[in-house]
Chains A and B, each alone.
Chain A
Amino acid sequence: MSHPAVRPTSVSKPSADAAIGLPTVEVKGFHRRFGDVVVLQDLDLRIEQGEFVALLGRSGSGKTTLLRTLAGLDSAEGQSVRTPSARAVVFQEPRLLPWKSVWRNVTLGLAGGDPRARAEAALGEVGLDHRANVWPRTLSGGEAQRVALARALVREPRLLLLDEPFASLDALTRIRMHDLVLSLWRRHAPAVLIVTHDVDEAITLADRVLVLDGGRIAAEERIDLPRPREVGAGFQAIRRRLLGALGVEHAAPGEPRAAAPPPLVPFPVREVQA
């Protein structure tokens, strides 16, 4: 029952679903509300095996809500949501347990096998095998996020869910992370759903870019550009269309990205007592 260690040679593993060509994720007519606020409504989503999908949407459009549902963090009882059980999440923050060494964080919750060896193999893939024994607090932001990637990958997920994983990284580190994620994706061939605010990031990475608006997938772009993708005419045309779908009509390339999202819970406004 022990998994093979994460190694460069292992390509997409054959599975029952693969044999009959079922999609990895299938969501039909999904709806989600918080109190009176309807966030997602009549949403359909299909992600094929090994497909790399990016999800765009303005702040508060429900991207995280959708990702949490796919991750099984929020229940979708009674609704038509099909996901593989082998799935793993990389959050916006690394969320490493500071009191566990890096390699123990990677193998968190894993049972059996040789956890140390599996952790080292996964850390090797993100270029951090030499940091296996250190405390997470000594890592830089980019390193910590790579550990979070290793922690997700060591589980050999069929569905990898990424919620704005690079939002807090500097531009250079972010480019490196893009290359890393793409090479890991090629090697392990999971289906990927990445939530991002960055249109260029979405176009650089994904096979397909979705725009979430009004509670459902409002626009979709298939990206057939060869990888690695350079900003050329085709790239810019896609970017223009996506920005249009996002309601940003006249943004020129290199325009600053949208500001930080507002906090989810509004600060309670109270009368100041004299």
Chain B
Amino acid sequence: MTLVDAIRFPGTYSGVRWSRFGRRWVSPLLLLALWELGGRTGVIPARVLAAPSAVAATFWGMVASGELPSNLGVSFLRVAAGLAIGVAIGTALALTAGLSRLGEDAIDPPVQMLRTLPVLALSPLFIVWFGIDETPKIALIALAVTFPIYLNLFSGIRSVDPKLIEAARSFGVRGFDLIRQVILPGALPSFLLGLRFALAVAVLVLVVAEQINAQAGLGYLINNARDFLRTDIIVVCLVIYALLGLGADGLVRAIERRALAWRPSFLKA
């Protein structure tokens, strides 16, 4: 069997899948080509939407000049800091509320009330409190992240199968060991689900928070570009935002594959 045969006859199923996979790329590429054509012929003026080739050129220029990496770095640090703080607070609150009735009664009611607030509506208040530098941006992201982490981890802790807990108890697993060996691993899938929500909302809040008088970051680039009608730069930044979201999702998936290797959905792979 030659290499060509192996490629041409890779088994009916994967053959079909590959051709479908290929087919699904046709329409996006066609749209891209139309967009480019519209740009070149002047049907779509650059001040409405820059052509893909112009966007690509701008992208390389911004990378080469260091403008994009440095601003991306600033945005990335904001998300990372907000996430770290929000995940830490959400986890601490959920553990306290999830592991004790007293903690639940103290923590759950205010959190449930606060979470009905649209976080972004708090930005004026945060500006009054924290000024206009990094602090309000990071605080907004942290706050937005806290809720999905808290809600998912709390419900995860509470929905660990009581039969498993009872069985472990009957075999002498108690106290801290019970939390470490039974309750936390049982709540981990919910936590990771919350983490996925948290990453998505972190990027979302980043976009808005960066519009607050930023001196650097992707939002700053977009604001500047808007003032000079540079749609090419705006599109570059939008693509970067999308990639950030994708990367975040991929990160959680990778964590899940490792940490939840025992789950049936991963066992088959």
A residues apposed to B, CB below 8 Å: 71-73, 88-89, 91, 93, 95, 97-100, 108-110, 135-138, 151, 155
Contact = CB atoms under 8 A, between A and B. Distances in A.
B168 A108 contact: yes
The 5 A-B residue pairs whose C-beta atoms are closest, nearest first, are A109-B171, A109-B172, A95-B167, A99-B185, A109-B173
B261 A108 contact: no
Contacts of A71: 170
B235 interface: no
Interface of B: 163-164, 166-173, 177, 181-182, 185-186, 188, 261-264, 267
Given A93-B163, A95-B163, A97-B164, A73 B170 contact: yes
B262 A135 contact: yes
Contact of B181 (A73, A88, A91, A108): A108
A30 B163 CA distance: 25
A95 B173 contact: no
B182 to A, nearest CB: 6
B185 A109 contact: no
Contact of A97 (B169, B177, B181): B181
A155 B164 CA distance: 18
Query: How would you classify the secondary structure of chain B's contact residues: helix, strand, loop or mixed?
Result: helix
A99 B186 contact: yes
Contacts of B163: 91, 93, 95
A274 B124 CA distance: 44
B262 A91 contact: no
Contact of A135 (B166, B167, B169, B261): B261
A136 B167 CA distance: 15
Max chain A Cβ within 10 angstroms of own Cβ: one of B186, B262, B263, B264: B262
A136 B164 CA distance: 13
Contacts of A109: 168, 171-173, 177
Given A108-B181, A135-B267, A138-B267, A95 B164 contact: yes
Nearest to B261: A135
Given A97-B182, A98-B262, A137-B264, A73 B166 contact: yes
Nearest to A151: B171
B103 to A, nearest CB: 24
Given A108-B173, A137-B262, A97 B168 contact: yes
